[in-house]
Structure 1
Amino acid sequence: MSKGGGGLSRLATLPLLQRLASRGKPPLRLIGVARDHVTGSKARGEQLLAGRFVSGGEVVELQDLNWSQIDPATPVGAELHGFGWLRDLAAAATREKGAPLAEDLAGRWLLAHGAKVDAAWTPALWGERLLFWLAYAPYLLSRRDAEYRSALLNTAARASRHLAGTADEAAPGLPRITAWAGLTAACLLLSSGTARLAKAESGLSRALASAQYEDGGLMSRSPAEQAALVDRLGLLRAAYAAARHEFPQGFEDAGAAALAALHGVIMGDGSLGAWQGGNEGSRAALAALIEGCGFRARPLRNPRGWGYHRLSALGTILVIDAAPPPARKLTRSGSASTLALELSDGQQKLVVNCGGPGPHSAGLPEGLAAALRTTAAHSTLTLADTNSTAIQPDGSLGRGVEEVPVTRSEDNDASRIEASHDGYVRGFGLVHDRALSLGNDGKEIRGLDRLVSRGRKKIREDVPFALRFHLAPGVEAVPTADGLGALIRSPGAPPWNFRCRGAQLGLEESVIVDSAGTLRSTLQLVLVGEVSHLGAEIGWQFRRSS
């Protein structure tokens, strides 16, 4: 690829680009340029300038990139085809320095995919692509090459007409929201699209209503998707500002509620909790999103559908998953994590879930991505080594947890939450009940896990259980001599003492998936015992030493 963008000048002379430039009703123009206030990754931008696109451990060389060979159905392919990397390029380079690369890649994309509706024209991809094309138009339309500029704008206009008829074909949830958001932005900022604005706004409103709980959380219950939702609505908000249109109050409310739900799963170190097949993600990217999205909100403490309940006191944060897993149609990576918890002290994570690779599962050992979705990979109770919600051979979620009643209370001493799930009723006739309290000084967490008999099913023989607390990487545990406690040491927080009753404490190896999607070794506290049809009760406590 020519560093000076000379390749684009050669591309512009090709007949295909000339035909693309003549489509539509010229002269097309931009009404305004949406300003993206979210700062990208300078490091990734510098990698782009050096000719490499890096994502999830995979590297794509940009020299003479053949877009026809980049499968948009793969995670890396979707990232490239979505053009969100323009944000990283802008973080590392001025328009003068970054535009030649952006224009060359966009020109090659037009040659490969601009003339025909193919796999790169899925509604969600076009929605994302339009949001970023319109936000980074100065990088894509810097050169005074009339045919290239017309080709890009006419293709964007044709895509918006295509989206007007296909956006609802996107999968429900974030993909459909993205499709309608991209169309809405195009209707605001492309001179040919203003007549379709009302339809686009109506479509986006429907997509949000069908995918977002009233408390702002996505029904997929994925923190990673929740962050993407905030991002999409933030980019759309910028498009309204650029078009000098008032941002509809319904979208403003949806964005603020989405941010509040996202705040609710951010731990003390500024990273996401590891839920629903995702990992902690990039702290820097999350901080940049919160700072630049344009919405403001406080953490959601008492959710309804979103289900992640948050207890916090003087720097100690505890989050519990107190809702059923998402419906199978809304996720491919739903996890059997009901009643699992994560715990942090200041910027030090103490108790975590094993997490997942997100979309980048190719680098994990075979079968491990599925294992990371099991109940045992989360900090909660497992009965007879089975999942609280079944994970089918095809990866979809089966029968299991259907109801999770929750009660919360607060007084001068502590914040308390009690929740239970029915995932083990069908197989064992037992309900798992978990009660938690966090002292108002942030120094003590008390827990009580109970297995309570319910229904006609009665187990005839005692069944083994295991109550797991996966520790964050770098956290050490030294068991006490009586086998009922451990001293928890970490590099970033004072020591904590752990005690338990009603089970035998052991220390085992574990793994977590870090923000880069790679495995890291760690430890887990495992409380084991047996339960009869009469039930069982396991008490435990974390107490900070100072």
Structure 2
Amino acid sequence: MTSGGGGLSKLATLPLLQRLKARGKPPLRLVGVARDHVIGTKARGEQLLAGRFLSGGEAVELAALDWASLDPATPLGSELHGFGWLRDLAAAATRERGAPLAEDMTGRWLLAHGAKVDAAWAPALWGERLLFWLAYAPYLLSRRDADYRSALLNTMARAARHLAATGDEAAPGLPRITAWAGLTATCLLLSSGSAKLARAESGLSRALASAQYDDGGLMSRSPAEQAALVDRLGLLRAAYAAARHDFPQGLEDAGAAALAALHGVTMGDNTLSAWQGGNEGSRAALAALIEGCGFRARPLRTPRGWGYHRLSALGTILVIDAAPPPARKLARIGSASTLAIELSDGQQKLVVNCGGPGPHVGSLPEGLAPALRTTAAHSTLTLADTNSTAIQPDGSLGKGVEEVTISRSEDNDASRIDCAHDGYVRGFGMLHGRALSLGNDGKEIRGLDRLAPKGRKKIREDVPFAIRFHLAPGVEAVPTADGLGALIRSPGAPPWSFRCRGAQLELEESVMVDGSGTLRSTLQLVLVGEVSHLGGEVGWQFRRSS
């Protein structure tokens, strides 16, 4: 990959640069560099140095990249336009080796988008871009090229004015937080920005208050977005340090709470449990984020709005989704997963949800992505093959779970949680309850799934149900002769036994999307039966053999 010096020299002809020069304003400068302590993925950085950008099964040849035609609304376009890949480049290359590529890519972006407000100027994209431009300024400002430097810094100043006016136009949730975080960092580190700092901090506080529960979790209830929130706040924390400003206590508290919520959905193998259209993510990337974000927190075990309750004992971790799905305006990829669980023993996942592609829907076979959002794709009960919360044809969430009741207790023997949701009351007159207990030795999980009559609706004929436990890839299950149990073997944990009562056990094929977005074949334990208008219950147990 060449440095593209010819492209950089063309920046002197940009109308924007000419106008800024004509006004006779003093040259802009950075007052510091927000050092990013999160280490990127070296392999991806080496691919960048080789001239290729890979993401979600798609590849872009950087030499042929046309910034003007790269749609920033697509997942691939958003990744490139956001410039988060600078972190990976820095993981693979020193400033001397990586700067030519970084400057060439940035210079060509300025030529395509620096002089006009277009789709690449979306507030959330600008927020992300500014955070990474400020963190990797040494890679972007290595050349002694006054025209390029002036164009870059003046475009950042113009972006700051744009964000000050449009930050609240970003979609609520993580996008709006990102927009205001980028503006705040720019106000701290660009010599012309200090006058806007108070406004930027106020906008960021509003964005956080409208998107983050007081327990630290995002209202989108997406672990993938939760990781991005921790990342954004960590980059902003570094900007405050570089500017020698105290990090506001409110932002410190928000970051620590966000990390606690993220820890709460992390399993024993240090990957995420899979909820709301996301997958387990990258173990290395998550570890780098937790190590480098600057915040410290223990796992959130008893959430409020975030909703993911965590039971743990001596290496056994169980996470349950004990809250309604996210509101439609906040759920970019919402799922009907209420009362589903994931289970791990040490570093071995045992029970999982099928996961999802994250932003890269195109990496999966056609039509599979919507199926991965269904109740049946999660380790919970499905009544009459119907989602507990409807998924509309346009992908939005419809009617279903509105309320989840929860009680939790701990004693010398076990941790217990008992919860119920109303997602099947409207259609079937049934309340689904799930009680769980994890023994304090970590060796036994007892569960009870209940269907109890509620409301005026009465089913006339018995209705089929299925309780699914999707097994992690590589986990084997051998049914017992009586059809009520199975022996579960895995490469990374002792054997576990499974038993049930009140239903018949079947073993079926399943799939799971791993952290790279790849579809993996696996198995599922399925407890099948029928329920009458009187309701019923099914008991089950996982027990470690040693």
Flag whether TM exceeds 0.5 (same fold): yes
1:167 aligns with 167
Letter in 2 for 1:22: K
1:9-24 to 2 correspondences below 5 Å:
9-16=8-15, 18-19=17-18, 22=21
Aligned partners of 1:419, 1:15: CA distance in 2, in Å? 61
2:55 aligns with 55
CA apart distance, 1:419: 0.5
1:487–1:498 Cα contact (<8 Å) kept: yes
CA apart distance, 1:366: 1.9
CA apart distance, 1:120: 0.1
* Structure 2 gaps, min length 5: none
**How many residues in Structure 1 have an aligned counterpart in Structure 2?**
545
Identity %: 85
CA apart distance, 1:331: 1.4
1:233 aligns with 233
Q: Once structures 1 and 2 are overlaid, which stretch shifts more, 156-165 or 362-371?
A: 362-371
Deviations 1:383-438 (A, max 9, x none): 00000000011110000000101111011110000100000001111100000000
Aligned partners of 1:288, 1:19: CA distance in 2, in Å? 42
CA apart distance, 1:66: 1.2
1:347 aligns with 347
Change (3 A) 1:154 1:372: same
1:405 aligns with 405
CA apart distance, 1:9: 4.8
1:69 aligns with 69
Aligned partners of 2:238, 2:18: CA distance in 1, in Å? 32
Corresponding position: 1:511 with 2:511: yes
Q: Once structures 1 and 2 are overlaid, which stretch shifts more, 17-26 or 484-493?
A: 17-26
Aligned partners of 1:146, 1:75: CA distance in 2, in Å? 34
1:8–1:103 Cα contact (<8 Å) kept: no
Deviations 1:489-519 (A, max 9, x none): 0000000000000000000000011111121
1:524 aligns with 524
Aligned partners of 2:413, 2:8: CA distance in 1, in Å? 70
2:501 aligns with 501
RMSD: 1.1
CA apart distance, 1:26: 3.0
Aligned partners of 2:166, 2:49: CA distance in 1, in Å? 35
Q: Secondary structure at the match of 1:397?
A: coil
Change (3 A) 1:383 1:91: same
Change (3 A) 1:295 1:192: same
Q: Secondary structure at the match of 2:363?
A: coil
Aligned partners of 1:127, 1:229: CA distance in 2, in Å? 12
Q: Secondary structure at the match of 1:311?
A: strand
2:543 aligns with 543
2:109 aligns with 109
2:264 aligns with 264
CA apart distance, 1:65: 2.0
1:102-501 to 2 correspondences below 5 Å:
102-501=102-501
Q: Secondary structure at the match of 2:362?
A: coil
Q: Once structures 1 and 2 are overlaid, which stretch shifts more, 487-496 or 513-522?
A: 513-522
Q: Secondary structure at the match of 2:457?
A: coil
Aligned partners of 1:18, 1:431: CA distance in 2, in Å? 64
Letter in 2 for 1:72: P
Q: Secondary structure at the match of 1:80?
A: helix
2:11–2:111 Cα contact (<8 Å) kept: no
CA apart distance, 1:21: 6.2
2:9–2:147 Cα contact (<8 Å) kept: no
Aligned partners of 1:18, 1:471: CA distance in 2, in Å? 58
| TM-score, scaled relative to structure 2 | 0.98
2:5 aligns with 6
Aligned partners of 1:17, 1:160: CA distance in 2, in Å? 15
* Structure 1 gaps, min length 5: none
Q: Once structures 1 and 2 are overlaid, which stretch shifts more, 60-69 or 376-385?
A: 60-69
Q: Secondary structure at the match of 2:489?
A: strand
Letter in 2 for 1:188: L
Q: Secondary structure at the match of 1:362?
A: helix
Q: Once structures 1 and 2 are overlaid, which stretch shifts more, 304-313 or 356-365?
A: 356-365
1:82 aligns with 82
Deviations 1:137-158 (A, max 9, x none): 0000011100100000000000
CA apart distance, 1:213: 0.2
1:17–1:110 Cα contact (<8 Å) kept: no
2:8–2:108 Cα contact (<8 Å) kept: no
Q: Secondary structure at the match of 2:206?
A: helix
Aligned partners of 1:58, 1:281: CA distance in 2, in Å? 17
CA apart distance, 1:6: 3.2
CA apart distance, 1:455: 1.1
CA apart distance, 1:64: 3.6
Letter in 1 for 2:142: S
Q: Once structures 1 and 2 are overlaid, which stretch shifts more, 423-432 or 358-367?
A: 358-367
Letter in 2 for 1:330: L
CA apart distance, 1:16: 4.9
CA apart distance, 1:69: 1.6
Change (3 A) 1:251 1:516: same
CA apart distance, 1:363: 2.0
1:21–1:152 Cα contact (<8 Å) kept: no
Q: Secondary structure at the match of 1:63?
A: helix
CA apart distance, 1:376: 0.2
Change (3 A) 1:308 1:34: same
| TM-score, scaled relative to structure 1 | 0.98
CA apart distance, 1:20: 7.0
Moved over 6 A (4+): none
1:20–1:150 Cα contact (<8 Å) kept: no
1:7–1:104 Cα contact (<8 Å) kept: no
Q: Secondary structure at the match of 1:191?
A: coil
Letter in 1 for 2:271: S
